[in-house]
Structure 1
């Protein structure tokens, strides 16, 4: 008995030294009684064909013949390349689209017994979900709402993959290929949109320039009218001041004249002034016209002075 156990233990040691699941991932580990499970891996053990337990990373012991390692699940994040496939958009445009799927196994038991091949099942689910989501969008929205499309695909996959113990972390669309004719139409549409924007910008620039010119003319007219208004106000103020000064000067002259007439020999001085004005008026008449109508007593200057002086003094007194 002791010899048999020693032989078994030596074989186990040799197997532990020689075996590595990392070097041979396609082959399941053998039951060697003493097993070392690598980190971020879960080994599903069956006892007599029925699920028994899941081996945690580190040292584990199994019973030979009764216990068998049935599945090895990696708990790391798995990257799956979704093959290119065709899909029809809402506006009946056929697209060729592919993507990358990132997932992780959360429940090794469900991943082992819930579905035959978890990665293949998730890949097929991603393809069908992608076709379904693309059929809800037009071609323009496929390019504009790429982020929302990815999130919708992830949500749909997680709803179905929850029973498989798998969690889809994210889905990214790599390339979207459109037919050549559609691509040419899209290019023409882009060029037309750019020309439209250029025309709109040019028209807006012309409008802004016209508005600026009109505003400048308006401001110039306002300033010119304000200048004319100020000039007229200043001119009117000057004329008013001049008239006031003339009136004040005339009043002062009349006042001085009336005071002078009340003085001694004032009448004689007034008669002399009137006589001088009389002679000056006749001399001016002779200069302005060749025909002069004179009164009959023109030679009697004293009489004329008396006639002129009486109303003159009457008006000034």
Structure 2
């Protein structure tokens, strides 16, 4: 019974060594008597017991490796601390097994050295503004160097870029000065625009006043011209009527009588307002005429009596 049990155990052990199932996400490197035989893909495989063995197992899924923080010097001689993430994938199980001892550690160290080299080509401001280009450069350099290792570097991402405290303090002062500068520029531009708007308003106001004054004068001139035209037309019509009246019989005598009445009225006004009596020669003749008329009247009265 004991011998049967031992036989069964030996058969199970041989069967376990004979049959191999490779998971979907892995590849297995098989060695026969210490020499590389094959890279087995996922699936069921049969091995020769005690001759074949699984030397290496590799995960073919994408792996992410954390790159520890390290000190770097930028192009403008500023010390910064940078860390990141590198994403790799095993492409060739044979190279990954025999091309390098530990491809994960080698990828991390290569990422660090490449990152220091690339950051040394950029200034501090460029490391912040050109992260994408920096990541592409690091991936390209690591991918070329890691080709003999049987792995593919898919991408690299910088997590943090941390300058020293002194640099941070200096940058804060610089940013504060820049903000003050922008505020002063904005204020100056606002004042300039306000002055321009005010001057434009005053200019437009003066133009409106001058236009209003101009239109007023034009209207007054047109009104005066219209008034003069109406008065002139009226005088012309009056003079035409007077000339037509004079041309009629008895018109000349009526004009002379009218002129004499106006002359007498004007002389009367002058005599009333003046302190010195002035008697023109014509008035003396008129007075003699009146005296003659009085004498004729008295003679007529005496005859009747």
TM-score for the superposition, normalised by structure 2:
0.85
> For residues 91-112 of structure 1, what are the alpha-carbon distances to aligned partners after superposition, in whole Å with 9 as ceiling and x for unaligned?
2122222111111112222222
State the alpha-carbon separation in 1 of the partners of residues 286 and 38 from structure 2.
Answer: 159
Bigger Cα Rg: 2
Task: Assess if the C-alpha contact under 8 Å between 1:111 and 1:118 holds in 2.
Answer: yes
How many residue pairs match? The answer is 283
Shift of 1:74: 0.7
Q: Relative to 1, partners in 2 of residues 1:294 and 1:111: Cα closer, same or farther, differing over 3 Å?
A: farther
Determine whether 1:277 maps to 2:262.
yes
Q: Relative to 1, partners in 2 of residues 1:237 and 1:116: Cα closer, same or farther, differing over 3 Å?
A: same
Q: Relative to 1, partners in 2 of residues 1:194 and 1:216: Cα closer, same or farther, differing over 3 Å?
A: same
Task: Assess if the C-alpha contact under 8 Å between 1:275 and 1:301 holds in 2.
Answer: no
State the alpha-carbon separation in 2 of the partners of residues 250 and 292 from structure 1.
Answer: 36
Correspondence for 2:217: 232
State the alpha-carbon separation in 1 of the partners of residues 285 and 14 from structure 2.
Answer: 173
Structure 1 unaligned runs (5+)? 16-31, 303-317
TM-score for the superposition, normalised by structure 1:
0.82
Structure 2 unaligned runs (5+)? 288-305
Task: Assess if the C-alpha contact under 8 Å between 2:14 and 2:49 holds in 1.
Answer: no
Q: Relative to 1, partners in 2 of residues 1:209 and 1:287: Cα closer, same or farther, differing over 3 Å?
A: farther
> For residues 143-177 of structure 1, what are the alpha-carbon distances to aligned partners after superposition, in whole Å with 9 as ceiling and x for unaligned?
22222222211121112112222222221222223
Cα RMSD, aligned residues only: 2.3
Residue from 97, 100, 124 that aligns with 2:82 = 97
State the alpha-carbon separation in 1 of the partners of residues 285 and 61 from structure 2.
Answer: 146
Determine whether 1:11 maps to 2:13.
yes
Shift of 1:58: 2.0
Q: Could you say which structure has the higher helix fraction?
A: 2
Residue from 66, 70, 81 that aligns with 2:55 = 70
